[in-house]
Amino acid sequence: MSASQPQAIHRKDYRQPDYWIREVALDFDLLPEATKVTARLSVEPNAAGTAGAALVLDGEDVKLLALKLDGQALSAADYTVEERSLSIEKPPATAFTLEIVTEIAPAKNTHLSGLYQSSGVYCTQCEAQGFRRITYFLDRPDVMAVYRVTVRADKKLCPVLLSNGNLEEQGDLDGGRHYAVWHDPFPKPSYLFALVAGDLACNEDSFTTQSGRKVTLRIFVEHGKEGRTGYAMDALKRSMRWDETRFGLEYDLDLFNIVAVSDFNMGAMENKSLNVFNDKYILADPETATDADYAGIETVVAHEYFHNWTGDRITCRDWFQLSLKEGLTVFRDQEFSSDMRSRPVKRIKDVRNLRARQFPEDAGPLAHPVRPDSYIAIDNFYTATVYEKGAEVIRMMHTRLGEAGFQKGMRLYVERHDGEAATCDDFAAAMADANNVDFAQFKLWYSQSGTPQLDLAGRYDAQVGAYELTVSQSCPPTPGQPDKAPMHIPFAIGLLDEQGRDIPLKLEGAVAAGASIVLPVTQAKQSFRFANVPQPKAVSLNRGFSAPVNVRMPQDGAERAFLIAHDSDPFARWEAGQQYATELLLQRVADIRAGKPADAPYDAAFIDAVRQILQDDGLEHAFVAEAIGLPDEDYIADRMEVVDVDAIHAARKALRRQIATALRADFERLYAANRDTGAYSPDAAPAGRRALKNSALGYLSALAEADAGLRGQIAAQYRAADNMTDRMVALRLLVDIAGPERQAALADFYDRFRDDALVLDKWLALQAISVLPDTLDRVKDLMAHPAFSMQKPNKVRALIGSFTANTLRYHAADGAGYAFHADRILELDPKNPQVAARMLALLGRWRRFDAGRQDKMKAELQRILAAPKLSRETYEIASKSLGS
C-alpha cells in the first residue's frame, strides 16, 4: 500500500482529546451556493491530555474565511489548513474562545453529508462525520457541547427554520430574510447536531408524558403530503408510551420534531429533538404504501425515537462503540414491534433478515466484530453486524437475565452513564453488576467475528431413561481472526414426546424459559444430560432463535415434519420447515448438477407438512404465510460450497410448482376466504390475512405461465385492488411472466402514480428484480427514464440496488451484470461515496462462485480500485473485498 492510500484507524489507539469544546454558538446565513457559518467554540484544555498540544480540528470541503482566538484575528503563521484539518499550533493553556467563519455550498453537496439541499429544503446529516463538512471542529462523539444555533434565511423560500432543542427567539431581518434561535440544553456530540430550513407543511399533535410534561409533536413534509403523516404520528405516540411502560424512559423536552426529506443516504437520523427522515419512512396511505411499508415506518419512527435515550442521552465514546447505541436500539425497536404485533412473526422476519444480510457479511471478506477493531471509513460500518448482530447480542443478555434482570441492568446503565459517552464494556458491566453475573466469556460476542456453528448429537439411554445432547461449537476463520475461543452461547431447546407435547426438562445451571431450557454452551465440546425423561420423538433446537448461530444436527424428514406439526415454539416450528425445505432443495441442486431433471417429484411428506399448516385453523394468518414460504435463493446459495444460481432457481421453481399443483384447492380456498379484508387498516391482523391471501396467490402464480385463467386472476387482483399491498403483490407476480398482462399492468401502474416519486421507486424496483432474461437491458433502459435519477439515493437503491439483489440475473455467466454494477459504482463514487461503497459490498462475495464468475467479479473490483481519486469509502470496500 502506498503512503497516499487511505489509512486505517484502530480501536486500541483511542485516547481522550487534548481539548474539550463545552459550548458552541453557531450562526448560519443560508444561501444555496455560499452559506456562511460562524462558529464560536468555548474550548478548554483537557487535564488528562497532552499539555501544550496543538489543537487539530477536523474539516472537509469547507472554505475558511476568518479565524479569531479570544477576539483576535489569527495570523497565517498561527495556524495550518490542510485538506482535512485546521491546526492551531500553540493554543492558550487555559480556556479560550475560537471563532471560525467558513463558507459552504449546500446546493452543490452531492455527498448528502453535512449541510445539503433536498428539493430546495436545507437539511443536515452529521453522523458519523458530516459536521466537519459544515465547520472545523473536534468532530468525535466524546466531545459533547451545549449548542445555541441561529439560522437566517429567505423568509419566502424558508418559512420553517429548525434546529435542536427549544426555540428561543425568532424575527424578521432586512431583505426579506428572517431568523430563529434554537438552544439545546443537553450536551451532545456534533454528530447529533441538525438544522432544517425550507417551505414545509406540518402535522402537529401532542403527547403527555407519564410525569405530566406536555410535548408538542410535529412532522414536517413537502406541501400536499401532510395527509400521509398520520400513521407515523401514531407510531411516534405509541413509541413514546411504550418506552415509558416497558423501559421507564420518558421524553425530556417540550418539543419533538420530525422532518421528512426525499434525498437521504439511509433510513433516518436521531438528531436530538429533530429527527430527519427519508420520506419513505414517514409517508403512508393505503393507496401508496404496502403493509410492509407501514411496518417499516412503525419500526424506524420508534427506532429513532428510542435513540433519545440510547444514543443521545448516552452516546458512544468512539465510533468503534457504534453497536452500543445501534445494537441496543435495534433490540428496543424489535421489542416494540413484537409488543405491537405478533411476536413470533416478528421474530421470524428478523431472523430471515439476519440470515439474508448479516450471516453472509460474517462469512465474507468484510466480516468484522460487533465492536470493530479498525476502520478506514466509519460510514462503512453501519452494517448488519453492528446493527442486527449487535441486537442479537443484547437479546442474548436479555435471555440470560430475564426481563426483570435486564431492566435492572438498564436502570444501572442509565444511572451510571446519563450525559456521558460510553463504551460497550460499560454497558456489559452495568448488566453484569446489576445482576451479579459474570460476562467475561460472553463478551467474546463483541470481539469475535464470524457466525458460530453448533454441531449436535443426541443419544437416548433407555436403560436409565436419560437423554444426552452433545454440543460442539466452532467458528470459521474471518479476516484477522484465524482462531476463535469458545463462546458463551445461550442455546434454547425442547424435547417433544410421542404426542408432540413438551417433556419437562431440568438442568442444573440452566435457565428454564417456559417449556424450553436454555443450555449454557460454553466449551468447545460438552454434553448435557437430562435424567428421568421418556425417549423424545423430536428435538426442537435454538428455540426463539436464542443465539445467532448455525446449527447442524442430523434430523430426518419425519422428525422435521413432526416438529412442523407439533412444536410449541413457533420459531422452531417455522425453522423445522425451513430446514426441511433447504435439505430438499440442496439435494435437488446436486441432482440437477448431476444431469437429473429439475422437476422430478419431491418428497411427498414435505408437501403433506405444508398441507397440514394450511389446514390448521388455529394458526395466525401471518404465521402461516411465513411457514409456507420457501427459503429464498440466497439462503440456499449460502449453504453451497460453490453457488450455482441457475440450478438453485430451477430447483426452487420446481418445488413451488409441485406444492401449487398438489395443494391448489387449499390455496384457492385460502385466497377466497381472505380476499376481502374490509376497509384497509395496516394493523397486524388484517395485514396477516393479506399476507396469507397473497402467498396463496404467489403459489398459484407458479402455475400461471401455462394457465391464462390464473394470469387473469392475478391481473384482476391488480386492477381491483383498493390498497397498495394487494396491487404490488399482483404486479410483482406479473413482472415474472412475459406477456400482455405484464405490459398492461406496468403501464397502468406508471400512469396511476407518475407524479409520486416514492411509488415509482416500487415500479423501478419490481422491473429490476424480474426473473425474465432481458432484465438487465430493461434496467439499462430505465436509467434514461424520467422516473430515475443517479443523484437520488432512493432511485439508485430502487433500480440499481434491486438489480444487484436479483441473484439469477445479476450473476449471469457472461459477467454483464457485474460490469454494469461496477460502471454504476464508478459513476456514483465521486458524487456520493457513502451510497457507492454500500452498494459495492456484493461483489465481495466472489469466492462463493465458480472460477469463471470469480474472475469476472475480481476483474470488476480491480477496475474499481484502479480508478483515479477513488473515495476512502469505496477504496475500503473494494480492497477488503479482494482480500488485499
Which residues are catalytically annotated? 304
User: Minimum CB separation from Zn ion for residue 437, in Å?
Assistant: 27
User: Minimum CB separation from Zn ion for residue 410, in Å?
Assistant: 17
Q: In 525-632, which residue ranges form alpha helices assigned H by DSSP?
A: 557-566, 570-593, 604-615, 621-627
Question: What grid cell was written down for 867?
Answer: 480508478
User: Minimum CB separation from ligand B3K for residue 300, in Å?
Assistant: 8
Nearer to ligand B3K, 318 or 326 (CB): 326
Q: Decide if residue 270 touches ligand B3K (CB under 6 A).
A: yes
CB 688 within 8 A of CB 621: yes
Give dist(CA 331, CA 341) in Å, integer. Answer: 15
Q: Decide if residue 123 touches ligand B3K (CB under 6 A).
A: no
Region of 267-275, 289-297, 525-533, 707-715 interacting with ligand B3K (CB under 6 A): 267-275
Would you call 214 exposed, middle or buried from its count of C-beta atoms within 10 A (0-12, 13-18, 19+)?
exposed
* 376: DSSP letter: S
- The alpha-carbon radius of gyration of the chain (Å, integer) is 28
**Binding partner of 382, given ligand B3K, Zn ion, none, CB within 5-8 angstroms per partner class:** ligand B3K
Give dist(CA 772, CA 736) in Å, integer. Answer: 6
Fill in the per-residue mask, 282 to 321: x = in contact with Zn ion (CB under 5 A), - = not in contact: ----------------------------------------
Cα angle 160, 161, 165; round to 5: 125
**Binding partner of 127, given Zn ion, ligand B3K, none, CB within 5-8 angstroms per partner class:** ligand B3K
Helices 604-615 and 645-662 cross at an angle (nearest 10°) of: 60
Q: Centre a 10 Å sphere on the Cβ of residue 841 and count the other Cβ atoms it contains.
A: 22
Region of 27-35, 268-276, 339-347, 408-416 interacting with ligand B3K (CB under 6 A): 268-276
CB 794 within 8 A of CB 262: yes
Nearer to ligand B3K, 300 or 696 (CB): 300
Helices 291-306 and 322-340 cross at an angle (nearest 10°) of: 130
Nearer to ligand B3K, 389 or 652 (CB): 389
Nearer to ligand B3K, 379 or 638 (CB): 379
Fill in the per-residue mask, 326 to 345: x = in contact with Zn ion (CB under 5 A), - = not in contact: x--x----------------
User: Minimum CB separation from ligand B3K for residue 307, in Å?
Assistant: 6
Question: What grid cell was written down for 382?
Answer: 453501519
Q: Which of 836, 837, 855 is nearest to 847 (CA)?
A: 855
Please count the residues of this chain forming the interface with Zn ion, following the rule CB under 5 A.
2
User: Minimum CB separation from ligand B3K for residue 128, in Å?
Assistant: 5
CB 329 within 8 A of CB 309: no
Q: Which of 397, 390, 371 is nearest to 490 (CA)?
A: 397
User: Minimum CB separation from ligand B3K for residue 120, in Å?
Assistant: 23
Among 304, 350, 361, 644, binds ligand B3K (CB under 6 A): 304
**Binding partner of 139, given ligand B3K, Zn ion, none, CB within 5-8 angstroms per partner class:** none
Q: How far is CA 720 from the centre of its chain?
A: 33
Give dist(CA 7, CA 376) in Å, integer. Answer: 6
Nearer to ligand B3K, 86 or 134 (CB): 134
User: Minimum CB separation from ligand B3K for residue 581, in Å?
Assistant: 33
Among 269, 284, 518, 842, binds ligand B3K (CB under 6 A): 269
Nearer to ligand B3K, 137 or 667 (CB): 137
Among 27, 60, 99, 127, binds ligand B3K (CB under 6 A): 127
Region of 8-16, 193-201, 262-270, 735-743 interacting with ligand B3K (CB under 6 A): 262-270
Site for ligand B3K in 361-420 (CB under 6 A): 379, 382
Nearer to Zn ion, 326 or 634 (CB): 326
Q: Which residues pair with 470 in a beta bridge?
A: 457, 527
Region of 101-109, 322-330, 566-574, 672-680 interacting with Zn ion (CB under 5 A): 322-330
User: Minimum CB separation from Zn ion for residue 87, in Å?
Assistant: 33
User: Minimum CB separation from ligand B3K for residue 742, in Å?
Assistant: 37
Q: Decide if residue 60 touches ligand B3K (CB under 6 A).
A: no
* Pairing outcome for strands 121-125 and 19-29: unpaired
Give dist(CA 160, CA 169) in Å, integer. Answer: 13
Q: In 594-678, which residue ranges form alpha helices assigned H by DSSP?
A: 604-615, 621-627, 633-638, 645-662, 664-673
Q: How many residues does the chain have?
A: 884
Q: Decide if residue 326 touches ligand B3K (CB under 6 A).
A: yes
Nearer to Zn ion, 281 or 849 (CB): 281
Give dist(CA 563, CA 547) in Å, integer. Answer: 19
CB 279 within 8 A of CB 297: no
**Binding partner of 278, given ligand B3K, Zn ion, none, CB within 5-8 angstroms per partner class:** none
Residues that bind ligand B3K (CB under 6 A): 127-128, 266, 268-270, 303-304, 307, 326, 379, 382, 834
